[in-house]
Amino acid sequence: ASNKKLLVLPGDGIGPEVMREAVRVMGWLEQNRAVRFDISEDLVGGASIDVHGVPIRDEVIAAARAADAVLFGSVGGPKWADVAFENRPEVAILRLRSELELFANLRPATVLDPLVGASTLKPEIVRGLDIMIVRETVGGVYFGEPRGIETLADGSQRGVNTEVYSTHEIERVARVAFELARKRQNRVCSVEKCNVMESGLLWRQVVTRLGRAEYPDVELSHMLADNCAMQLVRNPRQFDVIVTGNLFGDLLSDLASMLTGSLGMLPSATLGTADADGRRPALYEPIHGSAPDIAGTGKANPLAQIASLAMLLRYSLGLDDEAALIERACTNVLASGLRTPDIMSEGGTPVGTSGMGDAVLAEL
């Protein structure tokens, strides 16, 4: 098999620290399994602003397009709080999503048994939790036009954004959700605010029609976004796959992640459409942010970044065995009691970023 081209974008804050551990795991794979990588690395976010004046360069977008997959860290931090809106660190990830048309963000929220105590929710509510949120990521209010801030004659201002979804955009992300459900518990819950927003009403109609026509075997339900926020707290295990728009998905997937109490553990994948050769653009990133408060202290948990690599192996490279190997190594390390500060609990053995990386490699 030819070498796999990976683009590694560590970003800001703890991004580079946790990425280092993921890269070590790639090294292990090259030495011990039948897989070879061409790894290139570049700056994004604040790190790119500092050097190049922009959060992401066109060359980096092009490299991402040419790669088999992108492994992303995290961007942003207080250092860049006053950068102009068009040039803020977040533009790096927004441009990658938009220009590679990475429209489906897969965000698992799972509770591993050894970490059930890390949740602020009662163990009987979250034990065994396994939700997959499919969030649309290239449409909605994130990219809708018109947008901007205008100053009126009297000096007052108006800020405007546009929420817009088309049949096609809704169908393609719903399809991803239905397909995933078939490999899971076969249930999709579609979420919007159709009692207030016409874009949500169209969303519900399109998902309903698609479900009836192409996925009659998948159980489809609908929920208002405010109710979904409540139900995630009341009884999160009622959900299998949730599919929703960009903005609701942003809040609800973060909420679902926090139910697990272990943000530092959770990976995500963002997928585009396969081209004629079957190549599908894809980006993998931990769901945690750049955590500037602990950057440089060696305390960050690298497991979400390593788990993102495992997702990359599975979804982009078809290396299911290697993905499972890595996931098992992470679970075993946790079962042995090692804990970074974010998931520490009584009786755990404290360990830092590189110590956790060492343990995963030893386990492998």
Ligand X SMILES: CC(C)[C@H](C(=O)O)[C@@H](O)C(=O)O
Q: Are 12 and 290 in contact (CB under 8 A)?
A: yes
- Give the length of the chain: 364
Identify what 93 binds: a second copy, ligand X, none; CB under 5 to 8 Å per kind: ligand X
Name the residue nearer to a second copy (CB basis): 283 or 360.
Answer: 283
Please give the backbone phi and psi of residue 264, each rounded to the nearest 5 degrees, phi first. Answer: -70, 0
* 189 part of the interface to a second copy, by CB under 8 A: no
Q: Which stretch binds ligand X (CB under 6 A): 87-95, 157-165, 184-192, 303-311?
A: 87-95
Residue 315 touches which of ligand X, a second copy, none (CB < 5 to 8 A by kind)?
none
Report whether 48 belongs to an annotated binding site. no
To the nearest whole angstrom, how small is the minimum distance from the Cβ of residue 258 to a second copy?
A: 4
Q: Which helix (H) or strand (E) holds 200?
A: helix 198-214
Identify the three-state secondary structure at position 205: helix
DSSP secondary-structure letter at 156?
Answer: -
Assess whether 142 carries a catalytic annotation.
yes
Closest residue by beta carbon to ligand X: 90
Q: Is 226 annotated as a binding residue?
A: yes
One residue of 39, 141, 175, 185 binding a second copy per CB under 8 A: 141
- The residue with tokens 């272990």 is 262
Strand order in the sheet with 187-192: 37-41, 4-11, 69-74, 282-286, 267-271, 104-110, 130-136, 241-244, 187-192, 219-224
Of 240, 250, 284, 342, the catalytic one is 250
Stretch binding ligand X (CB under 6 A), from 7-15, 55-63, 89-97, 328-336: 89-97
Per CB under 8 A, the list member of 39, 61, 247, 361 interacting with a second copy is 247
* Strand-strand pairing, 187-192 and 104-110: unpaired
290 assigned to a ligand binding site:
yes
User: Does 226 help bind ligand X (rule: CB under 6 A)?
Assistant: yes
By CB under 6 A, residue 87 contacts ligand X: no
CB-based burial label for 154 (10 Å; 0-12, 13-18, 19+): exposed
Phi, psi of 90 (to 5 degrees): -60, -25
Q: Which of 4, 193, 240, 342 is the catalytic position?
A: 193
Question: Is-catalytic flag, 226?
Answer: yes
Parallel, antiparallel or unpaired: strands 4-11 and 130-136: unpaired
* Under rule CB under 6 A, residue 242 binds ligand X: no
- Can residue 148 be called a binding residue for a second copy (CB under 8 A)? yes
Q: Residue 85 corresponds to which amino acid? A: F
Residue 147 annotated as lining a ligand binding site: no
**What six digits make up the tokens of 207?**
């998902």
Active site residue 320: no
Catalytic (active site) residue 321: no
State the DSSP code for 280: -
Q: What is the separation of C-alpha 112 from the centre of its chain, rounded to a whole number of angstroms?
A: 18
Least CB distance to ligand X at residue 64 (A): 16
Q: Which does 162 bind (CB under 5 to 8 A by kind): a second copy, ligand X, none?
A: a second copy
Q: How many CB atoms lie within 10 A of CB 198?
A: 10
**Candidate residues 147, 182, 212, 328; the one interacting with a second copy per rule CB under 8 A:** 147
Distance CA 21, CA 302 (A): 6
Q: Three-class SS of residue 154?
A: coil
Q: Tell me the catalytic residues.
A: 142, 193, 226, 250, 254
| Residues near ligand X, by CB under 6 A | 90, 93-94, 195-196, 226, 250
Extract the annotated binding site for NAD(+).
77-90, 289-301
Extract the annotated binding site for substrate.
97, 107, 135, 226
